[in-house]
Amino acid sequence: MAEDAILGYLEKNEGILDSGCFAVEFGIDHDEIINVTKSLNGYGLVIAQAKEIFKLGEKGNCGENHTLFQGSPEVQLYSVIPAEGISPDELQKRVDPTIFKVGFAQAMKNKWVERVKQLISRKVQHVDDKVKECLVHIQAGEVVGREEIDALKRRKLILSQTWKGYSIRKGPNYVPKRKKAATDLTREHLQSGAWKKLELKEYNFNAKGLPPEGGHLHPLLKVRQQLKNIFLQMGFEEMPTNNFVESSFWNFDALFQPQQHPARDSHDTFFLQAPSTTNWLPEDYVERVKCVHESGGYGSRGYGYDWKREEANKNLLRTHTTAVSSRMLYKLAQKPFTPKKYFSIDRVFRNEAVDRTHLAEFHQIEGLICDRGLTLGDLIGVLYDFFSRLGMTKLRFKPAYNPYTEPSMEIFSYHEGFGKWVEIGNSGMFRPEMLLPMGLPDDVCVVAWGLSLERPTMILYGIDNIRDLFGHKVDLGLMKKNPICRLGLQ
């Protein structure tokens, strides 16, 4: 509407339009005219113009209404002076005090009246009320001479204001009626042949995308997704980790971790008060686990201690996701054997003193491969494959100890940024004392590794205090500002 009116007007009026006059003439809101013209994109050009406009002053020394309707003070005063003259006292009674004061001074200045002794009389036969005339013009928005304006301003009868108006001209792309540029090529355009004449809107490559208003992902979630993708690309299946509460049996005993092991101490493990014990375990398997702990078997001597069922029954918050791996391997052993590649990324809990690198809960990433005849070489090979996908290509391995793996290796990676070797994970081959009681075939081996999710996330996001990443002290700004994704841990 406004657009057609503007373009049409430009066609008829020598290509120039004054936005203010136009708004009045066509009854269109001034701001709308400006907005429309700005979007005309070269069809019309907007040239900003600052204009001085005037408003009648409310507190002029004799009041706007007085002057506008009853005439200027000088004219009001002049008209009450009789032909024979009048005494100042008498004159004062005929007009109000401001009219007398201002009007008399002004009439004297104009040489309209004179004062001879005690008598004020008219000096001219006739006067014109130029002041009132000017105010009427100004009120109507008409042009008035500069001199008059200045005089009125001095007398505070008018106030000046700046008004931002625009003069609108024909632009280089001017047409009297703009065709709306299409933003999409549709099926209808193609069918009707309209596409041949279609004017397509140009892409604006400088337009900024809208900042995402929705939720923001925590860095841990983003890195978890990256890791998940890596595992999936490598053909791993995700293990169900949706139970934080686990029995000591699956968390420790099934993993050939002796019941006196310091990690099972309540200083390191959170035990549950209610429900304090598990209500189901596979009895025949429990029996085999008890035997292997007490007296060994499968070529092992065992630990030679009195294994207690009550210890195994105790519920706890799982201290590692290897508890899930033990359940999954047991499950796998109950069916005819098929090789598997499993992974999990989820939360674990440890009763640890909290400091800048430790929290009482964190996330573990775990991967395992279960197949016949696997060797340590296979483990090293898969670790190179996995970590190189995270940008870590220089690895070193150090012999280590876990109750459930033999051999065991700590994994180190050379961090270019830190200029040193940093420990990034733990790994090993699950012991026969763990796998054979489950019922897996003799020649089946399992290579596995684990690492924390927090460590790589902190390296990727440059966070040096774990409490800034996870927990109640985390600054939510971190979530909103951090990059959508980061590549490479080096």
For residue 255, the minimal CB distance to ligand PHE (Å) is 8
Bridge partners of residue 277, in order along the sequence: 314
Give me the least distance between CB of 395 and ligand PHE, in Å please: 15
| Per-residue exposure over 109-131, b if at least 16 CB sit within 10 Å of its own CB, e if not | ebebbeeeeeebebbeeebebeb
Residue with tokens 């406009």: 53
427 binding ligand PHE? (CB under 6 A): yes
Q: Which stretch binds ligand PHE (CB under 6 A): 70-78, 240-248, 330-338, 425-433?
A: 425-433
Q: Token match 């002049």: residue?
A: 78
Site string for ligand PHE, 312-331 (x = CB under 6 A): --------x-x---------
Residue 303 binds ligand PHE (CB under 6 A): no
- Minimum CB–partner distance for residue 450 and ligand PHE (Å): 3
103 binds ligand PHE (CB under 6 A): no
Q: Give the DSSP H/E element, type plus range, for residue 238.
A: strand 237-238
Strand partners, 168: 17, 46
Which residues, in sequence order, are bridge partners of residue 423? 412
Strand partners, 247: 315
Residue nearest to ligand PHE (CB): 450
| CA atoms lying within 13 Å on the CB side of residue 191 | 3
Is 469 one of the binding residues for ligand PHE (CB under 6 A)? no
Sheet order of strands, 16-18 included? 16-18, 158-170, 44-56
Tell me: does residue 482 bind ligand PHE (CB under 6 A). Answer: no
Quote the longest CA-to-CA distance of the chain.
144
N- to C-terminal Cα separation, the chain:
60
Q: Which residues of 57-66 are buried (b: 16+ CB within 10 A; e: fewer)?
A: beebebbbeb
Q: Does 428 bind ligand PHE (CB under 6 A)?
A: yes
Q: What does residue 358 show for φ and ψ, rounded to 5 degrees?
A: -125, 140
Based on CB atoms, which residue is closest to ligand PHE, 374 or 448? Answer: 448
Q: Does 366 bind ligand PHE (CB under 6 A)?
A: yes
Closer to ligand PHE by CB, 131 or 448: give it: 448
Q: For residue 314, what is the DSSP state? A: B
One character per residue 190-229, x = contact with ligand PHE (rule: CB under 6 A) = ----------------------------------------
Size of the site for ligand PHE (CB under 6 A): 11
Q: Work out whether strand 237-238 and strand 340-349 pair parallel, antiparallel, or are unpaired.
A: parallel
Stretch that binds ligand PHE, among 6-14, 295-303, 426-434, 474-482 (CB under 6 A): 426-434
Is residue 437 part of the contact set for ligand PHE (CB under 6 A)? no
- The residue within the footprint of ligand PHE, chosen from 256, 343, 449, 470 (CB under 6 A), is 449
| Residue 470 within binding range of ligand PHE, rule CB under 6 A | no
Is 450 a binding residue for ligand PHE by CB under 6 A? The answer is yes
Residues of the shown chain interacting with ligand PHE in the complex, contacts defined by CB under 6 A: 320, 322, 366, 402, 405, 426-428, 448-450
